[in-house]
Structure 1
Amino acid sequence: MEPVPDHHADLWLARIFAAKAAEGQVIRRNIAWIDREVGRARFMAEVRRRRFHLLQTADQFIVVCHSGPVYMLF
Structure 2
Amino acid sequence: MQGLPDNIALEIWMRAVFSSRDARLGGVIKRQVRDVERIVGREAFLSEVAKRGWQALENGRHFIVCCNVEPIRRVRAAGSPARAGD
Amino acid at match of 1:19: S
TM-score scaled by length of structure 1? 0.86
Deviation at 1:47, TM superposition (A): 0.3
User: What secondary structure does 2:9 align onto?
Assistant: helix
Work out which structure has the larger RCO, using CA pairs closer than 8 Å and 6 or more positions apart in sequence: 1
1:24-39 alignment, distance < 5 Å: 24-39=26-41
Deviation at 1:73, TM superposition (A): 1.1
Once the two structures are aligned, what percentage of the paired residues are identical?
30
Structure 1 equivalent of residue 4 of structure 2: none
Structure 2 equivalent of residue 45 of structure 1: 47
* Ranges in structure 2 where 5+ consecutive residues have no aligned partner: 1-6, 77-86
* Ranges in structure 1 where 5+ consecutive residues have no aligned partner: none
Higher relative helix content: 1
1:1-74 alignment, distance < 5 Å: 8-22=9-23, 23-74=25-76
State the 4+ residue runs in structure 1 displaced beyond 6 angstroms: none
Structure number with larger C-alpha Rg: 2
TM-score scaled by length of structure 2? 0.75
Amino acid at match of 2:45: F
Deviation at 1:62, TM superposition (A): 0.1
RMSD: 1.6
